[in-house]
A and B are shown apart, each in its own frame.
Chain A
Amino acid sequence: METIIKNTITDKLIAGFTASKNTLFGDGILREQAMESFSKLGVPGRKSEEYKYVNMEQALKGDLAAASPKPISEGQLNSLKVIGNAIVLVIINGRFSAEHTKFNNNIKGLQVMDIAEASGNAVFQKHYAKYADINSDPFVALNTAMATGGVFMHVEKGTVIERPVHIIHISSSSESMIIHPRNLIVLEENAQATVIESFVTVDASAKVFSNALTELFIDASAILQHYKIQEENENGYLVNTTQALQKKQSVFSTNNFTLSGSLVRNNLNIVLDDEQIETHLNGLYLTKGNQSVDNHTLVDHRKPNCNSNELYKGIIEEKSTATFNGKIYVRKDAQKTNAFQSNKNILLSDDGTINTKPQLEIYADDVKCSHGTSTGKLDEDKIFYLRARGLSEASAKKLLMHAFASEVVEHIKIDELRDYVEAKITARFA
């Protein structure tokens, strides 16, 4: 029975590709290969080790139309802007919106364009689909086959982009739909940039399944600050793959905030492909209702003398489910690696579920690696202490949840963005 359902869903997606492939940008051969890989891998079922805690078959069942464009108003867009001086790039239903993107490429050393228009660009050709492996994951394969648009961003050697780049992914539909936004961000040697990716639903009155993929190439000594703010509504289903490759002495900090959405699966894969690389991964997920949030992270230490530091925290309410799976590979060559990982959860209800699995695979012998995980309720002694000073039990809990979250929030280096996330958390626990 399971096989039949699975085949049906996979077949449906293959049929979607066959119907639309002639309209898609770029390399047709790559797309065919990706689809072939997808048809082999198929939609992962509950027996799949990598996807056992998120019900992808459920999320993908039923009719899912191919993405169609949908206009949104300037007013709606303005309400999604968070940072005053940001370069705002808009993707609606997997397509780059030239209409809403006001940036006119007037910053030296920075090129930004619709990825669907980038096929002739040499930098694009050098990097596109080189890091996210179509044979490793069905959603990478599916996105590579089906991608309709997104952002291609290129920061030239030695260029420091002061203004944050805010990529807003909008899902908007009144009928069930599947979309495949695709981004490629390339930082050349010594370049610096800050990129915020936000994921929102606007006028989404039916299920929108977004299979979004961003590839990041961070060349030697480049510094990339990366944020993901995920706040789709209950019709939002999001599989969000971030595939990063770091070169020598580069610094990559990525901070993921999952604030809402029916289902969110993050695949964050970072390859440390040279020496003296620094990597920071922080995540916060606040789940409630029947929400399911699954963070899979992979830090792949391939060369010596690199540092990675990972902190993921979650507050789980009501019947929601949160999953954290953190893999760290330290390969044989990667001596003198420092790799740390911590996952902490607060479970506020008896009906909520947290699955946490740290996975360290270490093949080098001179390394410092550690991982820790904890799941608990709010500390009664702390609640009592605050109540003994006159705070109501509700205020005391609110303050403690805020404090728990702040350990992640304080990693946000942009004041406006930090205030925005703070306000969301405050509203959530009000």
Chain B
Amino acid sequence: MSKLVITSIGPASSVQDGGRPGSQRYGLVPSGAMDRLALAAANTLVGNELFAAAVEIGPFGAAFTARGGAVRIALSGASRNADIAGRPVAIDTSATLADGETLTLGFARSGSFSYLAIEGGIAGEPDFGSLAVNARAGLGSPYPRPLQSGDELQTKPASGAPERRIEQPATAEAPIRIVWGPQDDEFGDDAKKLFIDSEWKISATSDRMGYRLEGSVIKHLHGHNIVSDGTVNGSLQVPGNGQPIVLMPDRGTTGGYPKIATVISADFGRFAQTSAGRVFRFKAVSMAEAQAAARRFWELLRSLPDRLRSIESFDLNIDALQDANVAGYAVSAVDATTWQVASPADVSGPD
């Protein structure tokens, strides 16, 4: 058995997979990866199931050391410097650590979360069919909490398969698309127009439960309390202070603030990757357009195995050089206060 030993890791890093849907009626949220496309791409590179468990790595750096044998890995999601014993590793490629070698990851440069998939998966005991960490519910395996230095992830020895890269569509800088509702009638037309016309940023007080938005103050028509109802990933709830909170995969299953809109499922991962402090906008689309986008997103997921390419040293060097050049001056917009324990989505309690 090979294993990856975590030699250093920042907050907001945990084992995540496709999550555990099916028990929201009992208050258990599915959790799972913030960016499912990146999770699926990383897994595809090493021949795993699309939504197999991988390490979701937050905006900070991390290091992993192979023990007991070689370990084959792949990285996708947020771009960052990566190397194995000094050999550069590009995002969206696979690579192999020989026994004793260390994979070192820098801070996220664009995006927030990278996914480290491990060939053969992460050994663990699933609960409700998932290894995803949900610390509040005491769920997750092999550790029911975010990862810490010294943790070990057991896996299979590297197969020796040739390394691959994966071609993904270019990341759009387009606005984040929403559909109105379910409670947009709690807001006037002027408030909805302000929501769409405003520039927004993700606040530093954000986490896997909720992203707090900074921008305009969105006023309610009838006050900010509604009778609790169900939430989804991407619910845009507006609490009393008028600063919207977007609910993320560790959200409460129900909530008592009016929800003006919902991020469409095809854009949710892209939204989750928005770094703290970066300016973005929302765009309202019809249900038909949102559902067409959901179908295209599903087609993209299905097409991932067809997007694998062999690595020629040329590709690798260009990517790595670009990464190194950018890293020379780019600094992540996040700081250590960003991924904190108490969640803004959490402070109000049950409704």
Q: Do A and B form a real pair?
A: no
